[in-house]
Structure formats: structure tokens, C-alpha cells
Structure 1
């Protein structure tokens, strides 16, 4: 059970990171080659980050096959840990209250995604 949970959480993390990197690349290209301003993308990227975490939780829950809420929670906690370590070790800043609230929302969204993913699980996982 623990091995399956960990491997499914890694699949979820990988999915989240691929989606976030793709969104970052697309938004940076749009900002560079169009007249769009960075302020226009703030809410779009904020919403997309929640969608990416939901999809990661969904994939994680589907791959685990059981206890999707736990797989989704593990995925979002690992994602939060990665973000925290990059921010703390790379930029010497911890999380503020707003970031803790956002990452708490990530946990909720990933848990919901994991519960849906484990119940929609099919042969594609």
C-alpha cells in the first residue's frame, strides 16, 4: 500500500510539474511577443495552478486505486514541500500567511481530485 501510494503521488507530482512548466513557458512567450502585461496573467496562472493540482490529485488517486483522498493529499503535500524548499533554499524566504492559505487550498483541491480519480479509475491508468 505504501509503495503504491508513494509511486502514485510521484506520478501526480510529475503531472503537476509538467503542467506548471508548460503554462510558464506559454505565458512567458505571450508576455514576450505580445503587448500583454504581467498583471493580466496573475489570476489566469493562479486558477491554472489549482487546475494543475486537481489534475495531479486525479492522476494520483486513479493510479493508487484506493484511498484517493490520501493519494491526493500526499501529492499536494509533496508539491508544497518542493515549492517551499525551492523558495526557502533558493530565495531565502519562507511562506507567508497568503501562501500557506493557497497551499491549504491546494490540499483541498488535490484531495477532491484524488477522490474523483479513484472512483473514475479505468483501464487507462
Structure 2
């Protein structure tokens, strides 16, 4: 069983990774949109792909840090990230998720779960103690 402290730390690492990657890519795209003739609608697909990659990476980091139950860790990471975005949108802008956003955040959570599973498997799973 994964202990609560390790679980919480792993999930926070995952969410921090997602937010850091989102901030970096937002900065890059804001520069591109400001200093070139590129239109936002022409890079929407690229932004969506990078968003999914960021969430996958967050789940991967979380799973690698937790070393077990990657789907639970990744799911918790995706849910916490979605909750943070929802609270920002609701408290900051007074609006709920649209149906389209809800579908995206469900898919983000599933993607983080897949990242968590892969992170656990690449990290080698639970530590094996040899006596």
C-alpha cells in the first residue's frame, strides 16, 4: 500500500510539472502570437497536443516518483490539475466548465493515468528488497 505522504508528494510533483510545462508553453506561444503574423486558430491543434503531452508528462513524473499504483497516482494528478483549473475559472471568472471543457479534462485525467502507469513501469515499480 502506498503511504499517504508519498502519495501526496508524488501528486504534487505531477501537478507542478503540468503547471510548469503549461506556463513555459504559454509564454512561448504568446511570443509567437505577438511577434509573428501567426493566428491563434492556426495553432489550436498544436496547443492541444502540447497540453496532452504536458498532462502525460505530469502523470509520468508522478508515477515515477510514487513507484506503485501509477493509475491511481496519475488519476489523482489529473483530477487535482482539473480541480485547480476549475477553481481558477469559477472563482476568477465566475464560469463553470462547458461540456467541451469537461470532455477535455476527463481526457486529461485519463492521459495522466496512462502517464502514471508508464512512469511506474519505467521507474521499475516497487523497490525490491533482497535479504
TM-score (norm. length: structure 2): 0.91
Alignment RMSD, CA only?
0.8
Q: Which has the larger radius of gyration?
A: 2
Q: Show the counterpart of 1:70.
A: 72
Superposition deviation, residue 3 in structure 1: 1.1
Match of 2:57 among 43, 55, 58: 55
Q: Deviations over 1:3-33 (max 9, x none)?
A: 1111000000110001000000000001111
Give structure 1 regions of 4+ aligned residues with deviation exceeding 6 angstroms: none
What is the rounded CA distance, in whole Å, between the counterparts of 1:90 and 1:4 in structure 2?
31
Deviations 1:28-75 (A, max 9, x none): 001111111111121111111110000000000000011011110010
Task: Quote the Cα distance in structure 1 between the aligned partners of 2:42 and 2:19.
Answer: 22
Q: How many residues align?
A: 122
2:35 to 18, 24, 33: 33
Residue of structure 1 equivalent to 2:18: 16
State whether structure 2 residue 5 is matched by structure 1 residue 3: yes
TM-score of the two chains, using structure 1 as the length reference? 0.95
Q: Deviations over 1:92-118 (max 9, x none)?
A: 000111111101101111111000000
Structure 1: unaligned runs, 5 residues or longer: none
Equivalence for 2:107: 105
**Structure 2 alignment gaps of length 5 or more:** 125-131
